[in-house]
Structure 1
C-alpha cells in the first residue's frame, strides 16, 4: 500500500515517517495532485500548500483524484482548508482545525498561514500560525497563567498582525504590561501548543489505519466537469511543463531595467496587501470588476473567449486571475489613501533618478508661454485626440475622471487644463522652430 503526503513547515520528513510510510513531497501547489495521481497511490494526504506567489492546489484536481478512487485526506493547513470546502464531495478532513473551518468557527485563510524558509532550508517555519497562538493562549487560561482580559487582548493583537509578523517575541513585546504576561512568558517554552502539528499527526495516523484495513467499497464520486481550464492544466502537466517556472524570473533578471520596474510594482503589491490586512479591508466586488474592465480594455480582450485564452496562456485559472485583480485594487486603494503625501515623494524620486532638472526647466518654459483659452467642445475634443492618439498612441479613455484621478488630478477639468497647456506649448515650440 502506497501513500503520498504533501508537507512543509508543519512537520519534518522524519516526523511524517515516524507515523506513516509515505512518499513525502513539498507543499502542494496547482497541478501536484493531478501529477501524483499518475503514480496511482493508495492514498494522498495534504498538510501544507502554497498560499501566495504560486497558484494554489486546484479544487478540481482533488475532485478528479477522488473520482479515480483515491482517498484524499486533508488536515492542519491547506489540507484543512480544502477538506472543509470539499468534505461534501468525499475529501476526508481530520483534526480540530478542519472541524472549525467546516463548521464556520474559522473562516480566514491567515489562521493557518505561516512564513517559512525556502525548500533548500527545509521549509522551516519563521512565524507562528494563528491557530497555534489561539490554542496556546487558551491552554494558558486553563492553567491559570493568563487572566481572561489579558488573553483577549493578546489574541486581538496577534490577529491584527500580518501572518508573516506573528512571532511570540513580537507579540509579547507589544503586550508586556498586561497582567499575567511575565508568567506566560516563562510558561510558554514548555506550554506552547503546535495545533497544526497535532492535527497533521492525527491525519497520518488515520491514513495509516486506512491503509492497514481492507479497502472500503468504492463510493460513487461526483464526476469532474471536463472544462477547458481543466483540460489545459492536464495538458501542461502531461507535457512536463512546470505550472510555475522559476526560469521565467531568470529571464526577467536578464533585463535589469524591466526587473527593477517589476520589483517595485511587486513590493507595492505586497505592502498594499499588508496594509489591507492591518485594516481588515478587502476589495469590493465593484473594484474587481473595474480592474477586470481596465485590464481587458488595455489588452484588447473584448470577447470572453479572448479573456479565457489569455488566462490559460498566462498559467492562471479564474481564482488566481481574480487574486491578480485584487492586487491591482489594493494598490489603487493604497495609492489613493496617500494621495496627499505623494507630491513631495515624487519630486524626491525625480531628483534621485536625475530627471528633475529637465522637467523643472520645461515647466518654467511652459509657464512663460502664452496659451490661448479654448473652451468649446470641439477645441477640447481636438486636444484630447491630439494628446492620446498622437502623443500616447492610444484611444481616448471612456472614463476621463478615472484617468485623471489615476495620474493624481481631481477630475476631468483639471486634466483638460493640463493637456491644453501641453498642446499649445508644443505647437508654440513647433511654430517657433519653423520661423527660425
Structure 2
C-alpha cells in the first residue's frame, strides 16, 4: 500500500516520517490528488492545502480518487474542510477540528487558515490558526489564568483580525488597547510559552496514526456508491495536471509569464473582450460536445487543421514548427487545440439557424448596431437607385475568383487562398450563393460610393466598420 501525505505548516515532513512510511508532498492544490492517484497512491492523507494564489484542491478530484479505489483521509486544516464536505461520499475525517466543523461549532474557513513561509523554509507557519487560539484560550481559562468574560473578549478580538495577522503578541496588544484587565493579560503572557495548544498538529498526528492502524488491519480498495460524472471541467483538470515530481510554480517564470500575458491583453480592452468571447464560445462548445458525447470525427479535425494552416499560410513543415515554437505549443497540444476548433465549428453549424436574433443584440451591446444599420439602409437605397439591388454575377465585370480576391484584399488577406467555400464559412454565411450575393452587393456599393458623382446625401452616411461591412 502506498500512502501520499500533503503537509505544510501544520506538521513537518520529519515529524510525519517518524509516525508513518509515506510519500510526503507539499500542501495540496488543484490537481494534486488526481496526480497522486495516477502515480499509484492507495491512501491519500490531506492536512494542509493552498487556497490563495494557487487554486485549491477540487472536490471532484477527491471523488474521482475514491471512485478509483483510493482511501482519502482529511484532518486539521484543508483536509478537515474537505472531509466535512465529502464525508457523505466516503472521505474520512480525523481529529477535533474535523469534528467541530461536523457538529457545526465551526463554520468559517479562516478558522484553520495561516500564513506560511515557502518550501525553502519548510512551510513554517507565520501566523496562528484561530482553532489553535481557541484551544489555547480555553486551556488558559481552565487553568484560571483568565476569567470566562476575558476569554470571550479575547476570542472576539482574535476573530476580528485578518488571518495572516493572528499571533499572540498581536492579540495581547489589541487586547490591551481594548482595555482588558492588565493583570490577566500579564498572566496570559506568562502562560503562553508553555501553555499554547497546537490543535491542528495534534489532529494531523492523529490522522497519521489512524492511517497506520487501518493499514495494519488490512485495507481493501475503497468502494463507493455514487456515480462520477465526467464534465468538461474535469477534462480540463486532467489535461492541465503536471507530474507530481515537477516543482509547483509558485510565482516562477511559467506563472509570471502567463500572468504578464493576460495583464497585457487586459490593457487592450477591445482585443481582450473579443478573446473572452472566443474563449467562452470554446468552453461552451466543448461542454455541448461532451454532453452529447459527440467528439469530432477525424476528418473534422483534419478540416480544422487545413483551415488553420491555410489562413496563416503555414504550408510547409518548417513554417508550422516555427509557429508552434513561437506560441509555446507541443504537437500534442496543437492536436487538442484543433479538436477544440472542430468542436467550435460543429456548434457554430448547429447554432447558425438560431443565432440571428442574438447577433443583433450583440451588435447593440458592441455599439455597432446604429452604424451598420445606417450603412445597410444606404446600401439598399443606393443599389436600388442604380438597379443593382439583386446583382447577377454573369453581368458583373469580374469573375468569381476576382470578386473573392477583391474582398480578401480589402480585408488585408491578399495572400490567402481563393477558396470561396472556406471564405463563406469563416465569414458566417449560410452557403456560397448567399456569400456571393453579399459580395456582389458590397462590390457595387463600394464602386458607387467611390464614384465622383456620388451624392452629398450618401457621402454623409457614417462609414462602416473595418472592411468589408
Q: Give the TM-score of the pair, scaled to structure 2.
A: 0.55
RMSD: 3.4
Match of 1:44, SS state, is strand
The residue that corresponds to 1:57 in the other structure is: 57
Work out whether 1:162 is the aligned partner of 2:162: yes
- The one of 267, 277, 280 equivalent to 1:301 is 277
Quick one: distance in 1 between partners of 2:133 and 2:98?
A: 16
The residue that corresponds to 2:253 in the other structure is: 247
Correspondence 1:18-33 to 2 at 5 A: 18-33=18-33
Quick one: distance in 2 between partners of 1:35 and 1:253?
A: 24
Could you list the runs of 5+ residues in structure 2 that have no partner in the other structure?
Answer: 288-362, 370-469
Quick one: distance in 1 between partners of 2:260 and 2:199?
A: 43
Counterpart contact for 1:64–1:223, Cα < 8 Å: no
Counterpart contact for 2:68–2:222, Cα < 8 Å: no
Q: 1:148 to 1:36 in 2, by over 3 A?
A: same
Quick one: distance in 1 between partners of 2:204 and 2:85?
A: 18
Q: CA deviation at 1:239?
A: 8.4
Q: 1:24 to 1:239 in 2, by over 3 A?
A: closer
Match of 1:29, SS state, is coil
Quick one: distance in 2 between partners of 1:54 and 1:242?
A: 13
Q: CA deviation at 1:232?
A: 1.7
Could you list the runs of 5+ residues in structure 1 that have no partner in the other structure?
Answer: 262-295, 312-388, 398-436
Q: CA deviation at 1:130?
A: 0.3
Q: 1:124 to 1:303 in 2, by over 3 A?
A: closer
The Cα offsets for residues 100-157 of structure 1, whole Å up to 9 and x where unpaired, read as 1122211111000000001111100000000000110011111111111111111001
The Cα offsets for residues 76-99 of structure 1, whole Å up to 9 and x where unpaired, read as 000000000000000000011111
Quick one: distance in 2 between partners of 1:49 and 1:218?
A: 23
Correspondence 1:407-422 to 2 at 5 A: none
Larger radius of gyration: 2
The residue that corresponds to 2:126 in the other structure is: 126
Match of 1:181, SS state, is helix
The residue that corresponds to 1:212 in the other structure is: 216
Quick one: distance in 2 between partners of 1:84 and 1:92?
A: 8
The residue that corresponds to 1:8 in the other structure is: 8
The residue that corresponds to 1:224 in the other structure is: 228
The residue that corresponds to 1:45 in the other structure is: 45
The Cα offsets for residues 380-418 of structure 1, whole Å up to 9 and x where unpaired, read as xxxxxxxxx9xxx96389xxxxxxxxxxxxxxxxxxxxx
Quick one: distance in 2 between partners of 1:154 and 1:114?
A: 18
Quick one: distance in 2 between partners of 1:83 and 1:188?
A: 31
Q: Give the TM-score of the pair, scaled to structure 1.
A: 0.59
Match of 1:52, SS state, is coil
Aligned residues: 284
Q: 1:252 to 1:207 in 2, by over 3 A?
A: closer
Match of 1:11, SS state, is coil
Counterpart contact for 1:236–1:243, Cα < 8 Å: no
